[in-house]
């Protein structure tokens, strides 16, 4: 049976929020790997441009264009990476707030349950006290 209390609902929301946070972290990891691949490609092209091999010198203008494309791609990925990092921070903050609200709701529910238990005990004692009192006066 699903927990229909406020704290139970918030607890489920926290799980969903943490999952969203995890997905954002995975997206960031993918972007970071893509940037590393672009950096490796740039390094390989720079090495080719600097090569003394005559075949590489023939393609210097192509290499220059390729470096330009790779640099633009890296800049785009850097912007994506920054946005993803900000998203992770937002998702984490949302999760933390929900977690805090769930704790507060749980504490409230626990206090409410304790008050109810105390009230039941008092009601029982009152009922027994009245019965004992009536039995003694007969």
Q: Would you list the domain boundaries of the chain? A: 6-100
> Are 6 and 109 in contact, with CB atoms under 8 Å apart?
yes
Q: What is the pLDDT along the chain (138 residues), one digit of tens a residue?
A: 567 899 999 999 999 999 999 999 999 999 999 999 999 999 999 988 888 777 777 888 898 899 999 999 999 999 999 999 999 999 999 999 999 999 999 999 999 999 999 999 999 999 887 655 555 555
Global confidence as pTM = 0.74
């Amino acid at each position: 049976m699903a927990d229909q209390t406020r704290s139970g609902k918030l607890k489920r929301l926290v799980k969903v929020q943490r999952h969203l946070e995890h997905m954002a972290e995975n997206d960031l990891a993918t972007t970071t790997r893509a940037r590393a691949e672009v950096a490796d490609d740039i390094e390989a092209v720079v090495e080719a441009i600097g090569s003394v091999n005559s075949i590489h010198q023939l393609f210097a203008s192509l290499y220059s264009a390729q470096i330009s494309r790779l640099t633009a791609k890296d800049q785009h990925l850097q912007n994506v990476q920054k946005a993803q990092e900000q998203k992770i921070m937002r998702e984490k903050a949302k999760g933390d707030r929900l977690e805090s609200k769930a704790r507060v709701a749980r504490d409230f529910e626990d206090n409410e349950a304790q008050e109810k238990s105390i009230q039941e005990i008092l009601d029982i004692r009152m009922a027994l006290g009245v019965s004992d009192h009536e039995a003694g006066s007969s």
